[in-house]
Amino acid sequence: MPTSATSPALLLVTLLIKLGLIASLASIITRFGAFKELLFVEQRNARQKIHFAAFLGIPFFLGVMARLVAGYQGADLSLEITLLAGLLGGAVVGLLVGLMVHLPAFLIGGEWMAIVMLSLYALVGGLVRYICPDKEEIWKYSPFIELSLYRSIRRRFTNPGMDWQVLLFLVGVILEITRMWTGRLFPAGKLFYLDSEGSFWTAFLIVLATPIGVGLPLRIWNSTRIERTLEEQKRLLMQARVESLTGQINPHFLFNTLNTVSFLTRSDPGKAREVLVKLSNIMRGRLKAQLNFVPLKQELDFVDDYLDIEVVRFGKEKLEIRREIDPDTLELVVPNMLLQPLVENAVKHGISPRIEGGILVIGARRANGRLTIRVGDNGVGISPEKREQIFASGIGISNVLERLKVIYGKDFQIDVDSQPGRGTEIRIDIPEVHPMPDSSLAPAERPVSKAS
pLDDT at res. 233: 67
Helix (H) or strand (E) holding 229: helix 200-267
| Residue 130 lies inside a defined structural domain of this protein | yes
**Same-domain status, 309 and 200:** no
Q: Does the residue 236 lie in any domain?
A: no
Counting Cβ atoms within 10 Å, is residue 367 exposed (0-12), middle (13-18) or buried (19+)?
A: exposed
- Where residue 359 sits, what CATH number does that domain have? 3.30.565.10
Q: Are residues 276 and 217 in the same domain?
A: no
Confidence class of residue 206 from pLDDT cuts 50, 70 and 90? very high
Q: What is the SS3 assignment for 315?
A: coil
Amino acid of residue 284: R
Q: Are residues 281 and 223 in the same domain?
A: no
Among 71-80, 119-128, 344-353, 434-443, the range of highest mean pLDDT: 119-128
Given a cut of 90, whether residue 299 has pLDDT beyond it is no
Q: What is the pLDDT averaged over residues 144-156?
A: 56
- Band of the pLDDT at 409, cuts 50, 70, 90? confident
Q: Residue 390: pLDDT band by 50, 70, 90 thresholds?
A: confident
Domain boundary among 181, 205, 231: 231
Boundaries of domain holding 164: 8-231
Is residue 315 domain-shared with residue 176, that is, in the same domain?
A: no
Q: Are 192 and 46 members of one domain?
A: yes
Percent of the chain with pLDDT over 90: 32
Domain annotation covers residue 251 = no
Domain count, the chain: 2
> Of 25-39, 158-172, 338-352, which one has max mean pLDDT?
25-39
| Stated pTM of the model | 0.58
Of the residues 202, 231, 260, the one at which a domain ends? 231
430 with 304, same domain?
A: yes
The confidence score (pLDDT) of residue 250 equals 55
Question: Please, where are the H alpha helices in 31-112?
Answer: 33-39, 46-70, 78-89, 91-107
Q: Are residues 276 and 355 in the same domain?
A: yes
Assess if residue 138 is contained within a domain: yes
Residue 439 has pLDDT above 50, yes or no: no
Query: What tens digit of pLDDT does each residue of 4-21 get?
Result: 445 778 888 889 999 999
Cα 91 from Cα 127, distance rounded (Å): 7
- Whether 79 and 161 map to the same domain: the answer is yes
Q: Does residue 439 sit in the same domain as residue 392?
A: yes
Domain membership flag for residue 103: yes
CA dihedral 210, 211, 212, 215 (to 10 degrees): 130
Q: Given this model, what pLDDT does residue 236 score? A: 60
Task: Identify the band that residue 451 occupies on the pLDDT scale cut at 50, 70 and 90.
Answer: very low
Task: Name every residue whose Cβ is closer than 8 Å to that of residue 425 and which is 6 or more positions away in sequence.
Answer: 361, 374, 375, 376, 377, 416, 417, 418
For residues 21 and 213, give the distance between their C-alpha atoms in angstroms, rounded to a whole number: 9
**Contact of 361 with 322, CB cutoff 8 Å:** yes
For 62-113, what is each residue's pLDDT tens digit?
999 998 888 888 899 999 999 999 999 999 999 999 999 988 888 888 888 9
pLDDT at 91: 93
What is the model's pLDDT at position 260? 72
End-to-end CA distance of the chain: 64
Per-residue model confidence (pLDDT) at position 249: 46
% of the chain beyond a pLDDT of 70: 81
Q: Which range among 47-51, 245-249, 399-403 shows the weakest confidence by mean pLDDT?
A: 245-249
Summarised one tens digit per residue, pLDDT across range 210-248 is 999 999 999 999 888 888 777 766 666 665 665 554 555
Q: Is residue 58 part of a domain?
A: yes
- Residue 326 confidence class, pLDDT cut points 50, 70, 90: very high
- Residue 227 sits in the same domain as residue 272: no
Say what the pLDDT of residue 354 is.
84
Spatial contact of 203 and 180, defined as CB atoms under 8 Å apart: yes
Q: Give the tens place of pLDDT for each residue, 357-369.
A: 889 999 999 999 9
Contacts of 323 (CB under 8 A, 6+ apart): 300, 361, 362, 363
Question: Is residue 257 domain-resident?
Answer: no
Residues 28 and 156 both lie in one domain: yes
Are residue 225 and residue 325 in the same domain, yes or no?
Answer: no
Does the structure show a pLDDT above 60 at 288? no
- Split at pLDDT 50, 70, 90, the class of 291 is low
Mean pLDDT of the chain: 81
Q: In angstroms, rounded to a whole number, what is the distance separating the alpha carbons of residues 245 and 225?
A: 30
Give the residue from 231, 254, 279 where a domain finishes: 231
Q: What is the mean pLDDT of residues 270-276?
A: 79
pLDDT at 47: 92
Asked if the structure places residue 240 within a domain, the reply is no
Lowest mean pLDDT among 86-90, 202-206, 433-437: 433-437
- Mean pLDDT computed over 176-190: 90
User: DSSP labels for 131-150?
Assistant: H-S-THHHHT--S-HHHHHH
Assign 350 a pLDDT band (cuts: 50, 70, 90): confident
